[in-house]
Amino acid sequence: MKTSDPELLERLAPLRELEPADEGIGQLLAAADELRAPRRRARPARAVAVVAATAAVVGALAALPGGKDSARPQDAHGILQAAAAVAAEQPAPAAYRYTRMLMRFVDEVQAGGERGRVAYEQTSESWTSDGFRGRTVAPQGTVTWDGTPSDALRAAGGHASGLVKPYDGDYRYGDGPLARVPFAALPEDPVALGALLEAAIRDTRWALHPSKHPRWAPGVVEEEVSRSAVILLSMGNLTGGQRKALFELLGSRPGARSLGEVKDSTGREGVGVALPLAQSKSELRVIIDPKTSDILQSTEALPSSPATAPKVTDGPTPPWPPPVWLVERTEVFLSTGSVAALGDRPQ
């Protein structure tokens, strides 16, 4: 059975990605069409029909396999908008954002004709306040090769133990563009927030070592906006309004795609989106807890090194193939929360 009512069709649009049986769709539309008959004169017949059809949709979705969870948004924009709505309702932050995180790097290593892969893993605890000030504590991590490496591969891989050595000191952010970001300066409007992040990345005002004449390759700044939004959502001590704006900003990024309902590397269930990183020919895959809007995991998977070296217009030509090439960067956020003081952990 078909219906031509555009308002009703718009209400039924979320069903398209759930792919119920044709018989079920026919029954649902038939019920909705039957409910068009005006039962009460307090509201226009169209309003009664739309409300009734919406109720029928909700009931039908609940009856599908998976129950109410099947009603979750299935496209990337819907997933991020739903996360934004949940984020807006979160309580105000305390003095510090606590994060217990597993960091994983995977390098492709080449020496002569040999090639191997090595993974570095380390778990850390961090407490961050405004400007990413705070503390990070991490025990010794692990180094795992995909096979038994030769001495040449080990030498090409560098001092692996230095990447996962124990650490206890200032918050370990690195040298990225948000090292000194003042959280209070981040607006709660997604358009203004996106414009500010792009401008600050371009002029390096919040970098650890700002540059007087920064130079960016085409597409890099746009990628950094997406990465920065995920970092802020994961580690930033932000208000619900700021987190909402960040999710809405990500929802406006072109080319985002849904990963659907997925599990992170620890088995926790969430919903996933992939954000394209065109310049590096990769994507940033983010898993979100739909109940809390917390980021469970982010992974950037990169292609292997190209067969030919990139063209360099100025400066020395890099060795090719490169001895070390990053192919994966993963952050698993094992525990997050808001705490009153350094050393506190969420209950």
The pLDDT tens digits of the residues spanning 67-120 come to 345 556 679 999 999 999 999 999 999 999 999 999 999 999 999 889 999 999
- Any bridge partners for residue 258, and if so which? 273
Angle at 223 between CA 269 and CA 83, to 5 degrees: 35
The H or E element that residue 246 is part of is helix 240-251
- Between 170 and 213, whose confidence is greater? 170
Residue 196 DSSP code: H
**63, pLDDT greater than 50:** no
**324, pLDDT greater than 50:** yes
- pLDDT number for residue 333: 98
- How much of the chain, in percent, has pLDDT values that exceed 70? 78
**Could you read off the pLDDT of 82-91 as tens digits, one per residue?**
999 999 999 9
Rg (CA), the chain: 24
Reference 171, options 124, 209, 134; nearest CA is 134
Reference 303, options 319, 274, 325, 324; nearest CA is 325
- pLDDT number for residue 13: 40
Which one of 15-24, 43-52, 53-62, 214-223 scores highest in mean pLDDT?
214-223
- pLDDT number for residue 242: 98
Q: Lowest mean pLDDT: which of 12-21, 25-34, 170-179, 219-228?
A: 12-21
CA 314 to chain centre: 35
- pLDDT number for residue 121: 96
Per-domain residue ranges of the chain: 6-71, 81-339
- 60 touches 12 (CB < 8 A): no
- pLDDT number for residue 161: 65
pTM attached to this predicted model = 0.76
- Look over the chain and give the mean of its residue pLDDT values, rounded to a whole number: 81
**7, pLDDT greater than 50:** no
**In whole angstroms, what is the distance from residue 33 CA to residue 1 CA?**
9
CA 311 to chain centre: 32
What count of Cα atoms within 13 Å lies in the side-chain half-sphere of residue 240? Answer: 11
The confidence band for 213, taking pLDDT boundaries of 50, 70 and 90, is confident
The confidence band for 4, taking pLDDT boundaries of 50, 70 and 90, is very low
Q: Lowest mean pLDDT: which of 160-164, 242-246, 285-289?
A: 160-164
First and final C-alpha spacing in the chain:
53
CB-based contacts of 336, cutoff 8 Å, min separation 6: 97, 98, 99, 100, 234, 294, 295, 346
Average pLDDT over residues 174-200: 94
- Residue by residue, DSSP assigns 168-195 as EEE----SSTTTT--GGGS-SSHHHHHH
- pLDDT number for residue 41: 34
Q: At what angle do helices 190-203 and 220-235 cross, to 10 degrees?
A: 120
- 265 touches 330 (CB < 8 A): yes
The confidence band for 301, taking pLDDT boundaries of 50, 70 and 90, is confident
Q: Lowest mean pLDDT: which of 206-215, 263-272, 291-300?
A: 206-215
**In whole angstroms, what is the distance from residue 249 CA to residue 158 CA?**
38
**Residue 206 token pair:** 């919040």
**Could you read off the pLDDT of 226-272 as tens digits, one per residue?**
999 999 999 999 999 999 999 999 999 989 999 999 999 999 999 99
- Between 302 and 36, whose confidence is greater? 302
CB-based contacts of 223, cutoff 8 Å, min separation 6: 277, 278, 279, 280
**26, pLDDT greater than 60:** no
| DSSP helix/strand/coil, 108 | strand
